[in-house]
């Protein structure tokens, strides 16, 4: 079985499994993360290994299938694993892909799992996902997700949480969309694992800071 055919079937699974999600976590997000991850992998000089590039591409494509925020059925959490088994992928490669997906979320880093033992593939996939969460695309995704959940856009009386744990991060109780920038998005630049990710994050981070400065001025009637 050629890798190209495998990737095409993975893309079809992404389209099918993520259909119905709001635009912050749709198939287009997965495809952007895949393209970013492959680009970062080339900058990080791991593209000479076909196995590493396959791990990076599949983990990036499949990383949000079964996301807890969109779980419709408990079986959704097994979709990726079942796909890899059905495709007859080498067990070692499948294990690496599943390990990356399981460990790359911000909620895992909040709980102390940093991914330092996952290898170079982990860093480029996680950084790619985090790059898509910041900058212009990140702002659009944040506002889209907040709107899809009928979240409060902004309330100066509700302050960003500073004592985040995995549990209260996942709960989102009484939080505003704008607070999400302070609780997560503005922290991502410093959490990038690769040199290439750090370089790209600088511009996107600055764009978010400028957006928030303008937002607060307009909110307060100062602009």
Judge contact between 146 and 180, C-beta under 8 A. Answer: yes
Q: Residue 206 pLDDT more than 60?
A: yes
Long-range contacts at 105-114 (CB < 8 A, ≥ 24 apart): 106/130, 106/169, 106/184, 106/188, 107/166, 107/169, 107/170, 108/166, 109/191, 110/164, 110/165, 110/166, 110/169, 111/165, 111/166
Over the stretch 31-84, which tens digit does the pLDDT of each residue have?
Answer: 999 999 999 999 999 988 999 999 999 999 999 998 888 888 877 889 999 999
Over the stretch 163-192, which tens digit does the pLDDT of each residue have?
Answer: 776 666 666 566 899 999 999 999 999 999
Percent of the chain with pLDDT over 70: 91
Residue 117 has what pLDDT? 53
Judge contact between 187 and 208, C-beta under 8 A. Answer: no
Q: What angle do CA 150, 210, 198 make, to 5 degrees?
A: 95
Residue 171 has what pLDDT? 65
Distance, CA of 182 to CA of 207 (rounded, Å): 14
Structure tokens that stand for 125 in this block: 């996939």
Q: Residue 159 pLDDT more than 60?
A: yes
Q: Residue 204 pLDDT more than 60?
A: yes
Q: Residue 213 pLDDT more than 80?
A: yes
Residue 115 has what pLDDT? 47
Over residues 121-131, the mean pLDDT reads 97
> pTM of the entire structure?
0.92
Residue 167 has what pLDDT? 65
Over the stretch 91-120, which tens digit does the pLDDT of each residue have?
Answer: 999 999 999 999 998 877 765 555 445 689
Q: Residue 132 pLDDT more than 60?
A: yes
Q: Domains plus CATH for the chain?
A: 3-219 (1.10.3210.50)
pLDDT greater at residue 5 or residue 162: 5
Distance, CA of 17 to CA of 64 (rounded, Å): 9
């Amino acid at each position: 079985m050629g890798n190209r055919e495998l990737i095409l079937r993975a893309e079809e699974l992404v389209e099918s499994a993520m259909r119905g999600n709001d635009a912050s976590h749709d198939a287009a997000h997965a495809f952007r993360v895949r393209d970013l991850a492959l680009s970062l992998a080339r900058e990080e000089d791991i593209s000479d290994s076909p196995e590493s590039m396959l791990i990076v591409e599949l983990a990036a494509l499949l990383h949000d299938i079964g996301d807890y925020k969109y779980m419709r059925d408990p079986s959704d959490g097994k979709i990726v694993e079942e796909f890899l088994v059905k495709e007859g992928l080498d067990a070692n490669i499948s294990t690496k892909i599943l390990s990356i997906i399981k460990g790359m979320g911000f909620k895992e880093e909040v709980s102390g799992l940093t991914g330092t033992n996952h290898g170079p593939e982990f860093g480029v996939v996680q950084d790619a996902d985090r790059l898509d969460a910041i900058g212009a695309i990140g702002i659009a995704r944040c506002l889209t997700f907040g709107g899809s959940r009928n979240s409060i856009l902004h309330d100066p009386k509700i302050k960003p949480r500073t004592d985040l744990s995995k549990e209260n991060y996942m709960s989102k109780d009484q939080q505003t969309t704008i607070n999400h920038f302070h609780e997560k998005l503005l922290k991502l630049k410093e959490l990038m694992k690769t040199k290439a990710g750090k370089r790209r994050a600088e511009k996107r981070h600055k764009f978010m800071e400028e957006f928030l400065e303008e937002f607060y001025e307009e909110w307060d009637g100062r602009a």
